[in-house]
Structure 1
Amino acid sequence: MTEHVIVVDLGYGDAGKGTVVDWLCAQGPVGAVVRFNGGGQAAHNVVLPDGRHHTFAQFGSGTFRGVPTHLSRFMIVDPLALASEAAHLGGLGVPDPFGLLTVDREALLATPYHMAAGRARELARGEDRHGSCGMGIGETMAYALDHPGLAPTAGDCESPARLARKLHAVREALSVAGPPVEDCVAAYRAFAERVTLVDSSFVTGLLGRQPVVFEGAQGVLLDEWHGFHPYTTWSTTTFANALALLDGAPAVRLGVLRTYTTRHGPGPLVTEDPTLELPEAHNGTGPWQGPFRAGHFDAVAHRYALAAAGGADALALTHLDVPVSRMCVSYDIGELPVGTAGDLDRQARLTERLLKARPRYVENVDDWPPAVADALGVPVCLGSFGPTAADKSRLSSVITPERV
């Protein structure tokens, strides 16, 4: 590690960002892992060679390596979920997880009231559910947009009176049941005493000391503006937030992909193949996300993700140990055009087209890194043949696309 690195999933999530971040941190030295989008709905699995396993949600995936985590102003912080995660990490031998954590005071808080409102909204959609992790992320963002200045933030945890006023306002506006506000204030005050709350200038200091890994959540194909509406997240999942935090400092943009394409819950998955029986130790059907779905590698969708994200400098390719051999190289509807950010009506129309698209395949792919590099026009620099850092390797010579 000699440069800052931004790790972004170029699919629908679950490509292996956590295990890639763990590997990067194992190379050292890394000053911090910075989370720059999403919140407690992330599920980044890291497995150590001794078998210890943790699904990282808000703590950075370098925590096992002793690398500190910074939750930036773009994060949605759930202090109650953080406490549970810290307890699990402590049980796995991480001393004082909260001592490794800094939190930007401007980061929004996800509360039990946001969670209850989000779950109620998703249930009310019936058969037309959009897909949700049930953590209140979308409701937290929507409330902040509708009530600027009233949305609770991490900094409010230092002021019990101000926090209580905001929590009462959230509960009243969302008209939901939940724990007493006083209980939430006490828990959030304890959170503020355990972590270090900082201002946005903190990242500048981090960048000047050692290389930093920026760990993204979800995937570009779920992006709030460029994903396939309405089956998206309320979060910018591209490199954009990390680049804003870098403020002009250079960084390697690393895209992560599997050798097959997956997603949780409803929405387009053009290459879906129910006959695929692939090992998924850490993914399955969830009560809110819905079923875990798998399909063949979708070069068309991943080219779209690259275009929406403004390109990438290199790729990490995971699941190279899985016996798959089919790649979708085109659709019957052609390539997917990237539109102007914010035009959700256009994205909804694109989704309708995509739901009817049919894939065209090449068969018998037996050497995935060069095939992916050629299909996407981006070099593949890291290969993963299993869940641990020991299963990762820099490719002996970077696999570059033939067209570049």
Structure 2
Amino acid sequence: MDGHVIVVGLGFGDEGKGAVVDALCHRGPVTSVVRFNGGAQAAHNVVVGDRHHTFSQFGSGTLADVPTHLSRFTLVEPIALAAEVRELEDLGVTDPLRLLSIDADALLTTPVHVAANRAREDARGAARHGSCGKGIGETTWYGLLAGARPGQVVEHQEVIGTPGPAPTVGDCAHPAVLRRKLDALARFYEPLIGAGPPIDDLVSLYRDFADAVRITTGDEVGRLADRGRLVFEGAQGVLLDQTHGFHPHTTWSTVTPDNARALLGDRPAAVVGVTRTYQTRHGAGPLPTEDAGVLARFPERHNGTGEYQGAWRAGHLDAVLLRYAVDACGGVDGLAVTHLDARDLKVATGHGTPLTDLTDPVPWLEAHLGVPVLITGAGPDRADYALRALARA
């Protein structure tokens, strides 16, 4: 646990990754938190005394004064980022942007992507996928369309116009380039959403954004890694992964550690998989152990029903899906187990088989998965987290 650490959720998201990253950064030293997937749909809760923040694009080490790097695998939404800056300032974080760097090749999520995402989800009616409505899927999908022609089907969606090159964070510093890309984007999506926001307004806003943040090129993660220890913060959970999740209720993102490993190159890192002591998910999709009684016993302090994502759901710990998630990661080096303050727990060791009492989750999980529990959380606050591996060293 002294080297680089990759934190990945082993469920459908909301496992407690933010609190785990905060605990690692507070224990330190950590040079930077690196986001390696997802975008503005992340919602990672960190509680430190009377301060609480739901991290979206900033890394969850921010309240420990650890910088964030948004890698080329992240999707960046500057309007939402500006709102998060204000929220962090209200919590007493001085000049949050001093703690942020962004890879120039990161794709840009715009209001056009957001509107298109919501239009598609609205059209699905009762068959919604459970999207967060933040434009993540549309940003990724449009980035795949280079050379595509109208009428083609790419990733199960019809190409509805002539696409242009996808706008990136680096384009924000080059207004002429950005304007061409945004014009093409708006024309492409006009059949779906109608006239979008004024392009000139977006170009001006994104130019200000480029002036305010540090945009990096080349192997910034390698440079950071050579300076000290990195914590890679994953978004969503492996059971939502675009390859290993259960379609269509998945995210357009690689949730497994693959992106983090690619950013590190040959540098070693420990993979820490995060799980609650019971199963949860937000919105539509399978939840084999769902039980309204679990939801009633463990009211959620920081999660609720989202306009697009849907209702908060809960069930018993699912050992089958947990093992599946670990295997999808290529194995993990240790576990972080959160919500250990929950009581009267049960676990499903098979689907369609009787539930088993889970009286002591830590030794049960260590025996079931054959890896140590390195981090424990018994409440929402940083003070409720312990790094067991460091205590043993």
**TM-score tier (shorter):** over 0.9
**1:216 aligned counterpart, secondary structure:** strand
Q: Residues 41-56 of structure 1 correspond to what in structure 2 (within 5 A)?
A: 41-49=41-49, 51-56=50-55
CA distance in structure 2 between the aligned counterparts of 1:100 and 1:381, rounded to whole angstroms: 27
Task: Name the SS of the counterpart of 1:244 in structure 2.
Answer: helix
| Equivalent-residue separation in structure 2 for 1:395 and 1:27 (angstroms) | 12
Shift, 1:154, TM fit: 0.2
Match among 320, 323, 327 for residue 343 of structure 2: 323
Shift of 1:178: 2.8
Q: SS of 1:54's equivalent?
A: strand
Instruction: Give yes or no for the alignment of 1:158 onto 2:173.
Output: yes
Q: Which whole-Å CA distance do the structure 1 matches of 2:387 and 2:179 have between them? A: 51
Match for residue 225 of structure 2 among 191, 200, 207 = 207
Residue type of the partner of 1:222? Answer: L
CA contact (8 A) 1:271 1:359 kept: no
Mapped to 2, the partners of 1:389 and 1:218 lie a distance apart of: 21
User: What is the CA RMSD across the aligned residues, in angstroms?
Assistant: 1.4
Query: Could you tell me how far 1:395 is from its partner in structure 2?
Result: 3.4
Q: Distance in 2 between matches of 1:28 and 1:127?
A: 46
Aligned-pair CA distance for 1:387: 1.2
1:262 lines up with 2:280 in the alignment:
yes
Please point out which of 376, 385, 389 is paired with 2:382: 389
1:113/1:178 contact within 8 Å kept: yes
Q: 2: CA distance between counterparts of 1:397 and 1:78? A: 36
Give the Cα–Cα distance (whole angstroms) in 1 for the partners of residues 215 and 387 of structure 2: 36
SS class of match (2:2)? coil
Given that 1:32 and 1:212 are in contact with CA atoms closer than 8 Å, whether structure 2 keeps it comes out as yes
The 8 Å contact of residues 44 and 55 in structure 2, kept in 1 or not, is answered as: yes
| SS of aligned partner of 2:235 | coil
Cα deviation for residue 205 of structure 1 reads: 0.7
Check conservation: 1:299, 1:376, Cα contact below 8 A: no
Q: CA deviation at 1:227?
A: 0.2
CA contact (8 A) 1:99 1:194 kept: no
Q: Distance in 1 between matches of 2:135 and 2:345?
A: 38
Alignment of 1:78-117 (within 5 A): 78-117=77-116
In the other structure, the counterpart of 1:174 is: 189
AA in 2 matched with 1:395: R
Q: Deviations over 1:197-254 (max 9, x none)?
A: 0013111110011100000000000000110011000000000000000101011100
When the two structures are superposed, what TM-score results if normalisation uses the length of structure 2? 0.92
3-state DSSP of counterpart to 1:254: strand
Helix, strand or coil at the partner of 1:289: coil
- In 2, the alpha carbon distance for the partners of 1:395 and 1:118 equals 42
Question: Within the alignment, does 1:251 sit opposite 2:269 as a pair?
Answer: yes
1:65 is displaced (CA, Å) by 1.1
Work out the percentage of aligned pairs sharing the same amino acid. Answer: 56
Contact 2:47-2:53 within 8 A present in 1 as well: yes
Question: Is residue 16–residue 44 contact of structure 2 (8 Å, CA) maintained in 1?
Answer: yes
Cα shift at 1:374: 1.6
- The 1-side partners of 2:196 and 2:384 are apart by 44
Q: How many Å separate the matches in 2 of 1:192 and 1:397?
A: 40
One-letter code aligned to 1:387: P
1:340 maps to which residue?
Answer: none
1:362 to 351, 356, 362: 356
1:346 is matched with: none
| 1:183 maps onto 2:183 in alignment | no
C-alpha deviations, 1:75-110, integer Å up to 9, x for none?
Answer: 000011000000110111001111111000000000
Name 1:34's counterpart in structure 2: 34
Asked whether the 8 Å contact 1:260–1:324 carries over to 2, the reply is no
Q: For residues 396 and 202 of structure 1, do their structure 2 counterparts lie closer, same or farther at Cα, with a shift above 3 Å needed?
A: closer
Deviation string, structure 1 residues 292-330 (Cα, Å, up to 9, x no partner):
100000110010011111010000000000113201111
Structure 1 residue aligned with 2:244, among 219, 226, 230?
A: 226
Q: Which amino acid aligns with 2:288?
A: V
**Is the CA contact 2:375–2:389 (under 8 Å) kept in the aligned structure 1?**
no
Q: Aligned partners of 2:104, 2:389: CA distance in 1, in Å?
A: 43
Mark the CA change 1:97 to 1:397 in structure 2 (over 3 Å): closer, same or farther: closer
Unaligned runs of 5+ in 2: 148-163
C-alpha distance in structure 2 between counterparts of 1:118 and 1:80, whole Å: 16
| Unmatched runs of 5 consecutive residues or more in structure 1 | 332-357, 400-404
In the alignment, structure 1 residue 377 sits paired with structure 2 residue 370: yes
Q: How many residue pairs were aligned?
A: 371
- TM-score, normalised relative to structure 1: 0.90
Aligned residues of 1:72 and 1:200 also touching (Cα < 8 A): no
Kept in 1: contact 2:221–2:263 (CA 8 A): yes
CA distance in 2, matches of 1:141, 1:147: 12
Q: CA deviation at 1:147?
A: 3.0
Distance 2:135 2:353 in 1: 35
Task: State the AA in 1 paired with 2:269.
Answer: A
Superposed CA deviations along residues 244-298 of structure 1, whole A, max 9, x for unmatched, are 0010101110000000010001111000001221121001111111001000001
Distance in 2 between the 1:324 and 1:218 partners? 27
Shift in Å, 1:397: 9.6
CA deviations over 1:344-377 (Å, ceiling 9, x no partner): xxxxxxxxxxxxxx354212x2111011112222
Match of 2:159 in 1: none
